[in-house]
């Protein structure tokens, strides 16, 4: 039994946990919603992880949407899964993309840092 609480809103699931001070979200579909909600997602750094599935939530979502073969091909070519809004808890498909690892690091040192600056 999962220690997470899940709430479905349309095609999104909101995930909470008694130990978290945030709400995470992910896009869901019928072909994987039961699996996603049957496990406990834990905080691992700034991302959510499940040991049983052996995956971070954002990577799990991309594997489900693009397929394992496409994911592995892109990973082998040096791509990583990027959170476009730099929120590691927003694992909705419209916030995730494949980005060359070097570009992801550059984004983290420039755009992502600038987006946190308060004016």
Condensed to tens digits (0 to 9), the pLDDT of residues 17-63 reads 999 999 999 999 999 999 999 999 999 998 999 999 999 999 999 99
Condensed to tens digits (0 to 9), the pLDDT of residues 54-85 reads 999 999 999 999 999 999 999 999 999 999 99
Q: Is 32 left (phi over 0), alpha (psi -120 to 50) or beta?
A: alpha
Q: How far apart are the first and last CA of the chain?
A: 44
Answer whether 89's CB lies under 8 Å from 81's CB: no
On the question of pLDDT at 117 being above 60, the answer is no
Please give the structure tokens belonging to residue 2: 């999962």
DSSP per position, 6-45: EEEETTEEEEE-TT-SS-EEEE--TTTHHHHHTS--EEET
Q: pTM for this structure? A: 0.88
The pLDDT score that the predictor gives to residue 113 is 56
């Amino acid at each position: 039994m999962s220690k997470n609480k899940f709430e479905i809103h349309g095609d999104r699931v909101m995930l909470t946990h008694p130990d978290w001070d945030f709400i995470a979200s992910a896009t869901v579909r019928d072909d994987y919603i039961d699996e996603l909600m049957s496990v406990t997602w834990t905080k691992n750094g700034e991302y959510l992880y499940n040991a049983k599935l052996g995956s971070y939530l954002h990577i799990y979502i991309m594997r489900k949407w693009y397929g394992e073969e496409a994911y592995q091909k892109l990973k082998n070519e040096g791509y990583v899964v990027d959170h476009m809004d730099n929120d590691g808890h927003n694992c909705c498909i419209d916030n995730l993309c494949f980005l060359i690892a070097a570009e992801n690091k550059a984004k983290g040192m420039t755009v992502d840092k600038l987006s946190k600056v308060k004016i």
